[in-house]
Amino acid sequence: MTSAVSDQRLPEEKSPPAAPTRLPLYLTLAYVVLIIYASLYPFKPWRDFGVSPLAFLEAPWPRFWTGFDLGINIAAYVPLGFLLALALRQVMGRWSAALLGLVLGSLLSFCLECLQSWLPSRVPSNVDLGCNALGATLGAMVAAYAGKRIFRRIVQLQREALAPIPYAEFGLVLLGIWLLTQLSPETVLFGAGDLRSVFGLTPAVPYAAPSFFVLETGVIACNSLAIGLFARTLLNDRRMPYRTLAMFMFLGLFIRTMGAAVLVTPQDALSWLTPGARLGLLIGGLLLWLMLLLPATLRVTLAGAALMAGTTLVNLTPPNPYSEAALAAWRQGHFLNFNGLTRWMASLWPFVTLPYLIALGRRL
């Protein structure tokens, strides 16, 4: 009897069902937004040139092209095909998911190429479409062959690292987006939610060294506290994750340093390390160390309050004229699209994160 029962349970023990996770879906949606932005920026001026949006399909092979351009167009859609197939893998078979993933990736590229027909700064290309479709196909094939194993690994890491709270995967994506915003060297360190550039508003407070020092310190302290408490809420409660949080904050500083070094000049790699930044990091770190001892619900509440305070202060902080002069050359360079993307993400991030924190606080 015991042997029979063991034989019946053996298959279940070998292949336990994977718990559902929305992380592939969230990553897919985020990457689709990234592709749309990169393909249509600057989104103006829309004009009708009297040419059919399908005319690019009959265009001859372009006279000027490079292997780098072809490689970039292929590589950009490999993650899209992979993520689409991985997300669809949860509701259908692996080959059906791969086929639908490459179809959806190719369809997205086709629609974006058609829309580029109305943008004078963009040039629709059948070669780009072919390269994008090839990239989506490669990504979908990788998901078909290794997607199940990768999916199980994602679930395992999620169980080990993330707390069992509602929509933890979405919170993880928000933290990843916050890390990307640190690549923009023109914003205040850890600062987010500046709407003045979005609406074309002028700074309410004129620049003066003493007031800038105070506001910069407040922005960095509030956002350090908010980000740290937010990350702590997503982590598993097995131990006090001081080391993990410290590594995460240092990762944000490292990304900021590398962004300034690559996008501006190596000499400006540590331009963010101002007296206000040092004091703000110190104050924020001490407050975070103390507030990690609080209950989860109170931590989420304080994270939301610190995020609102930091967002308010960043909209009062005037731009630093020294940073403005150092970034003038970069703004006119080839990273204009990237600059706009990171600036928009930084501007909107708090207004997406705050509702998430409010909803999360009600569920804890």
Q: Looking at this protein, which amino acid is placed at residue 77? A: Y
What pLDDT, on the 0 to 100 scale, is given for residue 322?
Answer: 58
- 90-141 pLDDT, tens digit per residue, is 888 888 889 999 999 999 999 998 988 888 777 888 888 899 999 999 999 9
Cis amide bond preceding 355, omega within 30: no
Cα separation, 136 vs 128, in Å, equals 12
Nearest alpha carbon to residue 233 among 280, 152, 284, 288: 288
- 174-194 pLDDT, tens digit per residue, is 998 999 888 877 778 898 888
CA 208 from centroid of its chain's CA atoms: 33
What pLDDT, on the 0 to 100 scale, is given for residue 2?
Answer: 43
CA 5 from centroid of its chain's CA atoms: 48
One digit per residue, the tens of pLDDT, for the chain of length 364 reads 444 444 444 443 344 444 567 778 888 888 898 888 778 876 677 777 777 788 877 777 777 667 777 888 888 899 999 999 988 888 888 888 899 999 999 999 999 989 888 887 778 888 888 999 999 999 999 988 887 787 778 777 777 777 778 788 888 889 989 998 888 777 788 988 888 877 767 766 677 778 889 999 999 999 999 999 999 988 876 665 778 888 899 999 998 888 777 777 777 778 888 899 999 999 999 999 999 888 888 999 999 999 999 999 999 888 766 565 555 555 444 455 556 677 788 888 999 999 999 988 887 7
What pLDDT, on the 0 to 100 scale, is given for residue 10?
Answer: 40
Cα separation, 157 vs 200, in Å, equals 43
Q: How many alpha carbons fall within 13 Å on the CB side of residue 254?
A: 6
Residue count of the chain: 364
Task: Tell me if the pTM is above 0.85.
Answer: no
CA dihedral 189, 190, 196, 199 (to 10 degrees): 130
- Backbone φ and ψ of 162, nearest 5°: -95, 145
Cα separation, 206 vs 217, in Å, equals 17
What pLDDT, on the 0 to 100 scale, is given for residue 327?
Answer: 58
Q: Name the residue with tokens 């001892």.
A: 293
Q: Name the residue with tokens 């944000």.
A: 252
Cα separation, 176 vs 34, in Å, equals 13
Cα separation, 187 vs 349, in Å, equals 13
What pLDDT, on the 0 to 100 scale, is given for residue 62?
Answer: 72
158: tokens are: 């999620």
Q: Give the SS3 label for residue 162.
A: strand
